[in-house]
């Protein structure tokens, strides 16, 4: 085994700090000891080495040639030790990211797939901000958002997720097959005052479908889209719903589309600040959202 001839590590640390600051007082502040202790450690190191490491001036320590040589070696060694210790002992740095979206998109599309984000980026803590109102993507209120609209928001990158088609839908137990039967059933409405786009409601659908004798002001009214879905599944009436958000219920037969027409709404987009286009954390959330099943790739066909 190789025997290393090393002076006191405390003395080496005291010398390196004093050499870097060119001051025993500043070295003492850094190491939380007294200036006298620093001076004592340095003198002991000089005696052990048999050389002078400093030229001592009234208000400054000036390195000798031997002192400069030792200082350069110690600075590199201590930097390497510090890096290794941080790498071995540091708790992984976690990133909190807030994604703002509507309650229905959060509950009926995203939340089932958060596991994919945890698997690919366990260091990211996702926070969902559920609201119909657009919020500032300032890194405080939110970092990214899923919004529906025309895809043009100044200062934001907008990437299309999926189209937003609205259809009449109800429980198969109601036995609806013809639009003429609609007037004999309750209409289920979703109305939210915070929505920023023109509402896709029964009045707009009736104008498109040209269905006579339909009282579009009557029926059940919900401020939460997910509650409207639940009411439709429970056979409480006929709802006008965003098809991408009820794909599971349609596929499983819990909801059906008894008739048309479908009403084209504005698409959904993932948006984030142009200034953060290359932010690794933003890109991680972007990649996750784009990979969630049921997005543009599967719904557009």
Statement: residue 1 has pLDDT above 70: no
Contact 18, 61 (CB under 8 A): yes
Quick one: CA torsion of 6, 10, 13, 15, rounded to 10 degrees?
Answer: -90
Residue 194 pLDDT: 53
pLDDT band at 16 (very low <50, low <70, confident <90, very high): very high
Q: Which residues contact 65 (CB under 8 A, 6 or more apart)?
A: none
What count of residues does the chain have? 301
| Each residue's pLDDT tens digit, 85-138 | 777 765 556 788 999 998 888 888 888 888 888 888 888 888 999 888 888 888
Residue 103 to residue 105: CA distance in whole angstroms: 6
Strand partners, 274: none
Residue 91 pLDDT: 56
Residue 298 pLDDT: 37
| Complete DSSP assignment for 159-174 | EEEE--EEEEEB-GGG
More confident residue, 129 or 195: 129
Ramachandran assignment for 239, one of left (phi > 0), alpha (psi -120 to 50 degrees), beta (any other): beta
Which has the minimum average pLDDT: 76-80, 264-268, 297-301?
297-301
Report strand pairing: 165-169 vs 263-264: antiparallel
Strand partners, 57: 60
**Dihedral sign of CA atoms 295, 296, 300, 301 in order:** negative
Statement: residue 3 has pLDDT above 70: no
Residue 235 pLDDT: 93
Which has the minimum average pLDDT: 81-85, 144-148, 192-196, 262-266?
192-196
| Each residue's pLDDT tens digit, 124-180 | 888 999 888 888 888 888 999 999 888 889 999 999 988 888 999 999 999 999 998
């Amino acid at each position: 085994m190789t025997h290393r001839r090393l002076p006191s590590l405390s003395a080496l640390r005291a010398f390196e700090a004093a050499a870097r600051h060119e001051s025993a007082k500043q070295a003492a502040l850094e190491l939380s000891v007294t200036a006298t202790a620093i001076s004592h450690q340095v003198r002991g190191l000089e005696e052990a080495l048999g050389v002078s490491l400093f030229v001592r001036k009234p208000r400054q320590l000036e390195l000798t040639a031997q002192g400069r040589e030792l200082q350069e070696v110690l600075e590199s060694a201590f930097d390497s030790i510090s890096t290794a210790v941080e790498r071995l002992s540091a708790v992984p740095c976690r990133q909190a990211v807030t994604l703002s979206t509507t309650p229905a998109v959060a509950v009926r599309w995203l939340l089932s797939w958060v596991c994919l984000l945890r698997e690919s980026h366990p260091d990211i803590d996702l926070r969902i901000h559920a609201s119909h109102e657009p919020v500032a993507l300032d890194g405080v209120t939110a970092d990214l958002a899923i919004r529906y609209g025309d895809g043009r928001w100044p200062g934001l990158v907008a990437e299309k997720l999926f189209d937003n088609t609205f259809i009449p839908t109800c429980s198969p137990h109601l036995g609806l097959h013809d639009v003429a039967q609609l007037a004999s059933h309750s209409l289920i409405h979703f109305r939210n005052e915070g929505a920023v786009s023109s509402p896709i409601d029964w009045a707009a659908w009736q104008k498109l479908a040209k269905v006579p004798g339909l009282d579009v002001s009557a029926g059940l009214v919900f401020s939460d889209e997910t509650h409207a879905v639940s009411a439709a599944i429970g056979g409480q009436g006929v709802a006008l719903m965003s098809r991408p958000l009820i794909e599971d219920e349609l596929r499983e037969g819990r909801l059906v589309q008894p008739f048309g027409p479908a009403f084209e709404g504005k698409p959904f987009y993932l948006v984030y600040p142009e200034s953060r286009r290359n932010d690794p954390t933003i890109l991680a959330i972007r990649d996750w959202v784009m990979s969630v099943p049921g997005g543009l790739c599967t719904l557009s066909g």
